[in-house]
Amino acid sequence: RHPRGMAHVCHGLARACTVNPDGVATVEYASCDAATRDQPPRLTSWREFHRAVQALYTRLRARLGATPTSKPRVAILAGNGCGMLQSLYAIAAAGAIAVPLNVRWEPAELASALSDTTPQLFLADEAQFSKAEAAVSQCAWPVALEPLAMGQRELLPEELLHEELGELVVSAEEPSDAATSGVAFILFTSGTSGKAKGVVITHAMAVCQAMAKVCAPVGIAQDSVFLSVVPLFHIGGISTSLAVTMMGGTHVFSPPNSKSARSRPLKSPLLYPLVDSLARIAVNTLVVVPTMLHMVTSELTRMGRRLPNIRLVLVGGGSLSALPSLFQEAKALMPGAVVVQTYACTEAGSSVTFGLLTEAVLTLEGAACFAGQPVPHAEIRIRLKDDESRDLSKEAVGEILTRGPHVTPGYWRGPDVPCDSSRIRNGWLHTGRLV
């Protein structure tokens, strides 16, 4: 049986339901079109969120089998939303591995990822369903394609929920094969250097990275209201979402793309929750890449708006310290915000470092390369490439290495095959990033 001491992402969900059951778990906007944007967003409490996860979990266990010999995979193709987040938890609770796929991929790319991971079940939202059908048609084995909300129609009696959720976390069966034991997600890299690879993310990796975001300088808390715009097929989106859930905070999901650009109050509907004058809950936490932050500042400047409620801007996917003017614009428009820069990669389960950006930091020599300090659980070294035994002189160029519980076992090669761990030597992940 699943050992009580083993990390599991559903422990964070159980905690949220204990400490903040009636608090707002998710905020969803149906649209930002002129005809419908005055409609209030849908609010879901942690108690209601839990019920939906439990219902989907029940359906998944019936479909996948209660005690699989090897962890089944469940692929997901969906935009950010309450249903997507609930599915990630339900799949983990059911003892399966979630494989969230890139919604920007074409059917052939999706079919390739499906071939690599051989899922038994494929969940897709309405907007992506036809693309999912096209991908499934290219698979050489049977894949059951279901709508994302397959379990949300059948809610269980409320009195059963707390006891059963606790049981599913501590009593879930773990397969004996080393390839799938403890695995929570398979996340595909961008494939910029070739074919996209599936990075194995374990429960332990996911939990320790979520906990790192609870610590300073990020400080996710119960009163965090997080605008979820980083895709949930991306490690940054998943890791931050796990942290927000763990603390019983609030996830805010933007409306889908409008069919009529002229009916939008903003050029991008992603930003709509930031300027919604009717919002009952104000966003205070942003996780963005520099290009997305530029989009935010440009729109706010165009509208003559400021966001005094924002207290955290976490920036990854590029160096904000190399863009001092963008940092200054962001601080002027969000004067109460702490701005934190992170160096992260999928193979490290998310963040490797956090750095608090200030005007003083930007004046330092080499500020464009500022990365801050290692996250609490991580060791970091910079070594000559392919030689982790030698330190570098100040002028030399070397590779970032990291070691700790956040490091992936490797790239997925199949349920009966050990992971490709060629980038991990003596416990150190060779990130390939040169500095």
Three-class SS state of 269 = helix
pLDDT (mean) for 130-157: 81
The residue behind tokens 């029940």 is 58
pLDDT above 90 as % of the chain: 66
The CATH number assigned to the domain with range 9-434 reads 3.40.50.12780
**Each residue of 326-375: pLDDT tens digit?**
999 999 999 999 999 999 999 999 999 999 999 999 998 888 889 899 99
Q: Does 190 have pLDDT greater than 80?
A: no
Least confident span in 154-163, 213-222, 307-316 = 154-163
The answer, yes or no, to whether the previous bond of 217 is cis (omega within 30 of 0) is: yes
Mean pLDDT lowest for which of 124-133, 260-269, 375-384, 398-407? 260-269
**Res 3 pLDDT > 50:** no
Q: Flag whether pLDDT at 263 surpasses 70.
A: no
Q: Report angle CA 103, 353, 188 to the nearest 5 degrees.
A: 25
92 φ/ψ angles, rounded to the nearest 5 degrees: -65, -40
Residue 153 has pLDDT above 70, yes or no: no
238-250 residue pLDDT tens: 999 999 999 999 9
pLDDT of residue 1: 38
Domain extents in the chain = 9-434
Identity at 417, one-letter amino acid code: V
Give the sign of the dihedral formed by CA 237, CA 239, CA 240, CA 244.
positive
Which of 56-65, 153-162, 311-320, 327-336 has the weakest average pLDDT?
A: 153-162
- CA 201, distance to chain mean position in Å, is 11
Q: How many residues does the chain have?
A: 435
Find the mean pLDDT for residues 81-92.
Answer: 96
pTM of the model as a whole: 0.91
The identity of residue 111, as a single letter, is A
Q: What is the mean pLDDT of the chain?
A: 86
Strand duo 312-315 + 285-288: pairing: parallel
